[in-house]
Protein backbone atom coordinates (compact mmCIF):
# COMPACT_ATOMS: atom_id res chain seq x y z
CA UNK A 1 0.00 0.00 0.00
CA UNK A 2 0.93 3.62 -0.48
CA UNK A 3 0.16 5.97 2.41
CA UNK A 4 0.17 9.68 1.71
CA UNK A 5 0.33 12.20 4.55
CA UNK A 6 -0.44 15.84 3.87
CA UNK A 7 -0.32 17.46 7.32
CA UNK A 8 2.65 18.61 9.38
CA UNK A 9 3.28 16.44 12.42
CA UNK A 10 3.58 19.64 14.45
CA UNK A 11 -0.02 20.46 13.68
CA UNK A 12 -1.91 17.16 13.32
CA UNK A 13 -1.54 13.53 14.26
CA UNK A 14 -2.01 12.30 10.67
CA UNK A 15 1.54 10.98 10.40
CA UNK A 16 1.37 9.24 13.77
CA UNK A 17 -1.95 7.62 12.86
CA UNK A 18 -0.46 6.48 9.59
CA UNK A 19 2.56 5.02 11.38
CA UNK A 20 0.21 3.21 13.78
CA UNK A 21 -1.66 1.56 10.93
CA UNK A 22 1.12 0.80 8.49
CA UNK A 23 2.14 -2.78 7.70
CA UNK A 24 5.57 -4.17 6.85
CA UNK A 25 5.41 -3.65 3.12
CA UNK A 26 3.76 -0.23 2.82
CA UNK A 27 5.54 2.98 1.93
CA UNK A 28 4.84 6.57 2.98
CA UNK A 29 4.82 9.59 0.70
CA UNK A 30 4.84 13.00 2.38
CA UNK A 31 3.06 15.69 0.40
CA UNK A 32 1.85 19.28 0.94
CA UNK A 33 2.48 20.27 4.61
CA UNK A 34 3.30 16.61 5.24
CA UNK A 35 6.82 17.30 3.94
CA UNK A 36 7.52 19.31 7.10
CA UNK A 37 7.73 15.92 8.84
CA UNK A 38 10.62 15.08 6.52
CA UNK A 39 12.76 17.91 7.89
CA UNK A 40 15.43 16.99 10.44
CA UNK A 41 13.87 18.36 13.60
CA UNK A 42 10.41 16.98 12.91
CA UNK A 43 11.61 13.48 12.35
CA UNK A 44 10.27 10.73 14.60
CA UNK A 45 12.40 7.67 15.27
CA UNK A 46 9.78 5.46 13.70
CA UNK A 47 9.83 7.51 10.53
CA UNK A 48 13.65 7.42 10.36
CA UNK A 49 13.57 3.65 10.81
CA UNK A 50 11.22 3.36 7.86
CA UNK A 51 13.34 5.81 5.90
CA UNK A 52 16.40 3.65 6.58
CA UNK A 53 14.48 0.80 4.93
CA UNK A 54 13.89 3.02 1.90
CA UNK A 55 10.18 3.29 2.54
CA UNK A 56 9.72 7.06 2.98
CA UNK A 57 9.33 9.54 0.14
CA UNK A 58 8.66 13.28 0.00
CA UNK A 59 7.32 15.29 -2.90
CA UNK A 60 10.10 17.51 -4.23
CA UNK A 61 7.86 20.40 -5.30
CA UNK A 62 6.33 20.69 -1.83
CA UNK A 63 9.76 20.47 -0.17
CA UNK A 64 11.17 23.19 -2.42
CA UNK A 65 8.15 25.42 -1.99
CA UNK A 66 8.66 25.41 1.76
CA UNK A 67 12.40 26.12 1.52
CA UNK A 68 13.40 23.01 3.46
CA UNK A 69 15.27 21.05 0.79
CA UNK A 70 18.57 21.39 2.72
CA UNK A 71 16.96 20.11 5.92
CA UNK A 72 15.51 16.83 4.70
CA UNK A 73 16.47 13.95 6.97
CA UNK A 74 18.71 11.11 5.82
CA UNK A 75 17.32 8.35 3.63
CA UNK A 76 14.11 10.17 2.72
CA UNK A 77 13.77 9.93 -1.04
CA UNK A 78 12.54 12.90 -3.02
CA UNK A 79 10.18 12.27 -5.93
CA UNK A 80 8.51 14.50 -8.52
CA UNK A 81 4.92 14.08 -9.72
CA UNK A 82 5.95 11.37 -12.19
CA UNK A 83 7.56 9.57 -9.24
CA UNK A 84 4.31 9.98 -7.30
CA UNK A 85 2.45 8.26 -10.12
CA UNK A 86 5.04 5.46 -10.19
CA UNK A 87 4.52 4.89 -6.47
CA UNK A 88 0.74 4.67 -6.94
CA UNK A 89 1.17 2.16 -9.73
CA UNK A 90 3.73 0.11 -7.86
CA UNK A 91 1.98 -0.02 -4.48
CA UNK A 92 -1.68 -0.43 -5.45
CA UNK A 93 -4.25 0.78 -2.96
CA UNK A 94 -3.52 4.27 -1.72
CA UNK A 95 -4.63 5.67 1.62
CA UNK A 96 -4.49 9.35 2.35
CA UNK A 97 -4.04 10.53 5.92
CA UNK A 98 -5.62 13.96 6.00
CA UNK B 1 -40.74 31.31 -1.95
CA UNK B 2 -43.61 29.00 -2.73
CA UNK B 3 -45.76 27.63 0.04
CA UNK B 4 -48.38 24.95 0.62
CA UNK B 5 -51.07 25.90 3.14
CA UNK B 6 -48.67 28.51 4.50
CA UNK B 7 -45.71 26.11 4.87
CA UNK B 8 -42.62 27.07 2.92
CA UNK B 9 -41.44 24.61 0.23
CA UNK B 10 -38.30 24.53 -1.93
CA UNK B 11 -38.15 24.64 -5.73
CA UNK B 12 -38.85 20.88 -5.89
CA UNK B 13 -41.82 21.10 -3.53
CA UNK B 14 -40.14 19.64 -0.41
CA UNK B 15 -40.94 21.25 2.93
CA UNK B 16 -38.19 23.61 4.09
CA UNK B 17 -39.01 23.12 7.78
CA UNK B 18 -39.82 19.53 8.62
CA UNK B 19 -41.75 20.70 11.68
CA UNK B 20 -44.35 22.41 9.48
CA UNK B 21 -45.79 19.11 8.30
CA UNK B 22 -49.45 18.29 8.82
CA UNK B 23 -51.68 15.63 7.28
CA UNK B 24 -53.51 18.41 5.46
CA UNK B 25 -50.26 19.44 3.79
CA UNK B 26 -49.71 15.87 2.59
CA UNK B 27 -53.25 15.79 1.18
CA UNK B 28 -52.69 19.12 -0.55
CA UNK B 29 -49.33 18.01 -2.03
CA UNK B 30 -50.96 14.82 -3.33
CA UNK B 31 -53.80 16.80 -4.85
CA UNK B 32 -51.20 18.83 -6.73
CA UNK B 33 -49.93 15.54 -8.20
CA UNK B 34 -53.50 14.39 -8.91
CA UNK B 35 -53.37 11.67 -6.27
CA UNK B 36 -56.01 10.99 -3.67
CA UNK B 37 -54.33 9.54 -0.60
CA UNK B 38 -55.62 6.09 0.32
CA UNK B 39 -54.98 4.05 3.44
CA UNK B 40 -52.14 2.34 1.55
CA UNK B 41 -50.53 5.71 0.86
CA UNK B 42 -50.79 6.63 4.52
CA UNK B 43 -49.17 3.36 5.56
CA UNK B 44 -46.10 4.28 3.52
CA UNK B 45 -46.11 7.95 4.54
CA UNK B 46 -46.33 7.06 8.22
CA UNK B 47 -43.67 4.43 7.80
CA UNK B 48 -41.34 6.99 6.18
CA UNK B 49 -41.94 9.47 8.99
CA UNK B 50 -41.26 6.82 11.61
CA UNK B 51 -38.09 5.72 9.83
CA UNK B 52 -36.85 9.29 9.63
CA UNK B 53 -37.62 9.90 13.28
CA UNK B 54 -35.61 6.82 14.23
CA UNK B 55 -32.66 7.09 11.85
CA UNK B 56 -32.60 10.75 10.74
CA UNK B 57 -32.57 9.75 7.07
CA UNK B 58 -35.11 8.73 4.47
CA UNK B 59 -34.58 5.08 3.51
CA UNK B 60 -33.22 4.07 0.10
CA UNK B 61 -35.88 2.45 -2.06
CA UNK B 62 -34.25 -0.96 -1.61
CA UNK B 63 -34.43 -0.58 2.17
CA UNK B 64 -37.98 0.80 2.00
CA UNK B 65 -39.35 -2.08 -0.08
CA UNK B 66 -37.81 -4.65 2.22
CA UNK B 67 -39.18 -2.95 5.32
CA UNK B 68 -42.67 -2.41 3.86
CA UNK B 69 -42.79 -6.08 2.91
CA UNK B 70 -41.84 -7.07 6.40
CA UNK B 71 -44.39 -4.80 8.04
CA UNK B 72 -47.38 -4.88 5.67
CA UNK B 73 -47.04 -8.23 3.90
CA UNK B 74 -44.88 -9.74 1.23
CA UNK B 75 -47.19 -8.73 -1.64
CA UNK B 76 -46.44 -5.07 -0.82
CA UNK B 77 -42.68 -5.46 -0.50
CA UNK B 78 -41.82 -4.67 -4.09
CA UNK B 79 -41.15 -1.54 -6.06
CA UNK B 80 -44.02 -2.21 -8.47
CA UNK B 81 -46.51 -1.84 -5.63
CA UNK B 82 -44.78 1.24 -4.26
CA UNK B 83 -44.58 2.88 -7.66
CA UNK B 84 -48.29 2.21 -8.17
CA UNK B 85 -48.90 4.36 -5.11
CA UNK B 86 -46.22 6.95 -5.86
CA UNK B 87 -45.68 7.10 -9.63
CA UNK B 88 -42.88 9.66 -9.25
CA UNK B 89 -41.00 7.30 -6.98
CA UNK B 90 -41.70 6.14 -3.44
CA UNK B 91 -38.49 7.84 -2.33
CA UNK B 92 -38.92 11.18 -3.96
CA UNK B 93 -42.69 11.60 -4.02
CA UNK B 94 -43.38 9.62 -0.85
CA UNK B 95 -40.82 11.57 1.14
CA UNK B 96 -42.19 14.84 -0.16
CA UNK B 97 -45.73 13.96 0.98
CA UNK B 98 -44.27 12.79 4.31
CA UNK B 99 -42.61 16.17 4.82
CA UNK B 100 -39.10 14.71 4.73
CA UNK B 101 -36.07 15.99 2.84
CA UNK B 102 -35.19 14.40 -0.48
CA UNK B 103 -33.56 11.03 0.21
CA UNK B 104 -29.76 10.94 0.26
CA UNK B 105 -28.45 9.81 -3.09
CA UNK B 106 -31.78 10.40 -4.80
CA UNK B 107 -31.31 12.47 -7.95
CA UNK C 1 -20.37 -5.77 -11.76
CA UNK C 2 -17.32 -7.06 -9.97
CA UNK C 3 -17.40 -6.39 -6.27
CA UNK C 4 -14.62 -4.30 -4.84
CA UNK C 5 -13.67 -3.85 -1.25
CA UNK C 6 -14.18 -0.29 -0.08
CA UNK C 7 -13.05 0.99 3.27
CA UNK C 8 -14.09 4.33 4.71
CA UNK C 9 -11.57 5.66 7.16
CA UNK C 10 -13.08 7.98 9.79
CA UNK C 11 -10.67 9.99 11.91
CA UNK C 12 -12.66 13.03 13.10
CA UNK C 13 -15.33 13.55 15.74
CA UNK C 14 -18.85 14.31 14.55
CA UNK C 15 -19.90 17.91 15.03
CA UNK C 16 -16.83 20.16 14.93
CA UNK C 17 -16.18 19.58 11.23
CA UNK C 18 -18.24 18.18 8.36
CA UNK C 19 -16.01 15.15 7.75
CA UNK C 20 -18.10 12.67 9.75
CA UNK C 21 -21.48 13.46 8.24
CA UNK C 22 -20.00 13.74 4.75
CA UNK C 23 -18.46 10.30 5.17
CA UNK C 24 -21.76 8.83 6.33
CA UNK C 25 -23.62 10.35 3.37
CA UNK C 26 -21.10 8.98 0.91
CA UNK C 27 -21.33 5.56 2.57
CA UNK C 28 -25.12 5.57 2.22
CA UNK C 29 -24.98 6.65 -1.41
CA UNK C 30 -22.29 4.10 -2.22
CA UNK C 31 -24.36 1.37 -0.53
CA UNK C 32 -26.64 1.44 -3.57
CA UNK C 33 -23.80 0.02 -5.67
CA UNK C 34 -23.67 -3.19 -3.62
CA UNK C 35 -19.94 -3.26 -3.02
CA UNK C 36 -18.15 -4.78 -0.07
CA UNK C 37 -18.12 -1.85 2.34
CA UNK C 38 -16.40 -1.54 5.68
CA UNK C 39 -15.89 1.40 8.01
CA UNK C 40 -12.91 2.07 10.23
CA UNK C 41 -12.98 4.43 13.21
CA UNK C 42 -9.65 5.63 14.50
CA UNK C 43 -8.37 8.66 16.40
CA UNK C 44 -11.26 11.02 17.29
CA UNK C 45 -13.36 9.14 14.72
CA UNK C 46 -14.27 6.71 17.51
CA UNK C 47 -16.45 9.47 19.02
CA UNK C 48 -18.77 9.18 16.01
CA UNK C 49 -20.28 5.97 17.38
CA UNK C 50 -20.24 6.71 21.09
CA UNK C 51 -23.59 5.96 22.77
CA UNK C 52 -25.72 8.73 24.22
CA UNK C 53 -25.13 11.66 21.86
CA UNK C 54 -27.63 14.49 22.28
CA UNK C 55 -27.41 17.47 19.92
CA UNK C 56 -30.43 19.41 21.28
CA UNK C 57 -28.14 22.08 22.68
CA UNK C 58 -26.23 22.80 19.47
CA UNK C 59 -29.04 22.84 16.91
CA UNK C 60 -27.46 20.19 14.71
CA UNK C 61 -28.86 16.91 13.43
CA UNK C 62 -28.02 13.97 15.69
CA UNK C 63 -26.81 11.73 12.89
CA UNK C 64 -25.45 9.15 15.31
CA UNK C 65 -28.95 7.65 14.96
CA UNK C 66 -28.23 7.04 11.30
CA UNK C 67 -25.51 4.52 12.13
CA UNK C 68 -28.30 2.23 13.36
CA UNK C 69 -29.64 2.13 9.80
CA UNK C 70 -26.40 0.83 8.29
CA UNK C 71 -27.38 -2.80 8.89
CA UNK C 72 -30.39 -2.31 6.56
CA UNK C 73 -27.92 -1.17 3.91
CA UNK C 74 -25.85 -4.34 4.31
CA UNK C 75 -23.03 -2.41 5.94
CA UNK C 76 -22.06 -4.53 8.89
CA UNK C 77 -18.30 -4.31 9.22
CA UNK C 78 -17.43 -1.43 11.53
CA UNK C 79 -13.89 -1.68 12.86
CA UNK C 80 -12.86 0.44 15.83
CA UNK C 81 -9.25 0.97 16.86
CA UNK C 82 -8.66 -0.43 20.33
CA UNK C 83 -5.71 1.91 20.84
CA UNK C 84 -7.74 4.99 19.88
CA UNK C 85 -10.47 3.98 22.34
CA UNK C 86 -7.99 3.41 25.10
CA UNK C 87 -6.19 6.73 24.56
CA UNK C 88 -9.54 8.44 25.09
CA UNK C 89 -10.53 6.45 28.16
CA UNK C 90 -13.29 4.67 26.25
CA UNK C 91 -14.20 0.99 26.03
CA UNK C 92 -16.38 -1.06 23.70
CA UNK C 93 -19.21 -0.59 26.23
CA UNK C 94 -19.25 3.14 25.50
CA UNK C 95 -20.14 2.50 21.85
CA UNK C 96 -23.60 2.23 20.32
CA UNK C 97 -24.77 -1.41 20.10
CA UNK C 98 -25.00 -1.44 16.30
CA UNK C 99 -26.37 -4.64 14.80
CA UNK C 100 -27.41 -6.22 11.50
CA UNK C 101 -29.64 -9.14 10.60
CA UNK C 102 -27.65 -11.98 9.09
CA UNK C 103 -29.43 -13.15 5.95
CA UNK C 104 -27.43 -16.40 5.92
CA UNK C 105 -28.26 -17.25 9.51
CA UNK C 106 -32.06 -16.99 9.74
CA UNK C 107 -31.90 -13.20 10.11
CA UNK C 108 -30.29 -13.45 13.48
CA UNK C 109 -29.24 -10.13 14.91
CA UNK C 110 -25.47 -9.81 15.15
CA UNK C 111 -23.14 -7.03 16.25
CA UNK C 112 -21.64 -4.87 13.48
CA UNK C 113 -18.99 -3.22 15.62
CA UNK C 114 -15.66 -4.93 16.14
CA UNK C 115 -12.86 -3.50 18.25
CA UNK C 116 -9.51 -4.36 16.66
CA UNK C 117 -5.87 -3.56 17.37
CA UNK C 118 -3.98 -1.25 15.04
CA UNK C 119 -2.05 -4.27 13.78
CA UNK C 120 -5.29 -6.07 12.87
CA UNK C 121 -6.63 -2.90 11.29
CA UNK C 122 -3.52 -2.55 9.19
CA UNK C 123 -4.05 -6.09 7.89
CA UNK C 124 -7.70 -5.35 7.06
CA UNK C 125 -6.69 -2.15 5.28
CA UNK C 126 -4.11 -3.84 3.13
CA UNK C 127 -6.86 -6.20 1.99
CA UNK C 128 -8.94 -3.36 0.49
CA UNK C 129 -9.20 -2.26 -3.12
CA UNK C 130 -10.05 1.30 -2.18
CA UNK C 131 -9.59 3.30 1.03
CA UNK C 132 -11.41 6.61 1.36
CA UNK C 133 -10.35 9.01 4.12
CA UNK C 134 -12.58 11.41 5.98
User: Taking all residues of chain B, what is their mean pLDDT, rounded to a whole number?
Assistant: 92
Q: Which pLDDT tens digits describe chain A residue by residue (98 residues)? A: 999 999 999 889 999 999 999 999 999 999 999 999 999 876 688 999 999 999 999 999 999 998 899 999 999 999 999 999 999 999 989 999 99
Residues 6 or more apart in contact with residue A72 via CB below 8 angstroms? A38, A39, A40, A58, A63, A78
Give pLDDT, residue A47.
94
Q: Pick the closest to residue A17 from C61, B105, C133, B5 (CA basis).
A: C133
Domain boundaries, chain B: 2-97
Q: Which is nearest to B40 in space by CA: B1, B97, B92?
A: B97
ipTM above 0.90, yes or no: no
Q: Which residues 11-30 of chain C have a CB within 8 Å of chain B? A: 25, 28-29
Q: How many CB atoms lie within 10 A of CB C12?
A: 20
pLDDT digits (tens, 9 = 90+) for B67-93: 999 999 999 999 899 999 999 999 899
Nearest to A93 among C83, C122, C130 (CB): C130
Question: What are the sequence ranges of the domains in chain A?
Answer: 2-92
Q: For residues C126-134, give the mean pLDDT.
A: 95
Specify the CATH class of B2-97 in words: mainly alpha
Pairing mode, strands C5-10 and C130-133: parallel
pLDDT in tens, B32-79: 999 999 999 999 999 999 999 999 999 988 889 999 999 999 999 998
Q: Which residues of chain B make contact with C109, given a CB cutoff of 8 A?
A: none
pLDDT digits (tens, 9 = 90+) for C78-123: 999 999 999 999 999 999 999 999 988 998 999 999 999 999 999 9
Confidence bin at B107 (pLDDT 50/70/90): very low
Chains sharing 3 or more CB pairs under 8 A with chain A: C
DSSP 8-state assignment for residue A44:
-
Rounded CA separation C89/C86 (Å): 5
Instruction: Compare CB distances from C9 to A20, A22, A95 and report the shortest one's residue.
Output: A95
**What CATH number did the domain enclosing C121 receive?**
3.40.1260.10
Q: Is B106 a catalytic residue?
A: yes
Answer whether C87's CB lies under 8 Å from C6's CB: no
Residues of C in contact with B104 (CB under 8 A): 25, 28-29
Closest chain A residue to C8, measured at CA: A95
Q: Tell me which DSSP letter residue A76 carries.
A: P
CB contact under 8 A, B104 and C28: yes
CA distance B48 to B101: 11
* Residue C26: CA count within 13 A, CB half-sphere: 18
Cβ of C118 within 8 Å of Cβ of A20? The answer is: yes
Grade residue C32 by pLDDT with cuts at 50, 70 and 90: confident
Structurally, how many domains does chain C consist of? 1
Beta strand spans in chain C (E): 5-10, 36-41, 78-81, 99-102, 108-111, 113-116, 130-133
Q: Which CATH class is domain A2-92?
A: alpha beta
Which among C42, C123, C133 is the nearest to A23, CB-wise?
Answer: C123
Put simply, whether B32 touches C (Cβ < 8 Å) is no
Amino acid sequence: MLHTVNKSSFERNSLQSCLNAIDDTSVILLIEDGVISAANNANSSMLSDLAAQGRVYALQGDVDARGISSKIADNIKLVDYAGFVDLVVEHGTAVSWV
Amino acid sequence: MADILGAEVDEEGFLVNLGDWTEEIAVEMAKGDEIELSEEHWDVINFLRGYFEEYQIAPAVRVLTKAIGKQFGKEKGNSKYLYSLFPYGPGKQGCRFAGLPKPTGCI
Amino acid sequence: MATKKFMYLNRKASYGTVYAIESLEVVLIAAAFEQDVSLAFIDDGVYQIVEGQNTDGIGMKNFSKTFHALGDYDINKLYVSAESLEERGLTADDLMPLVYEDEDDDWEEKPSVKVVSNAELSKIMSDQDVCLSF
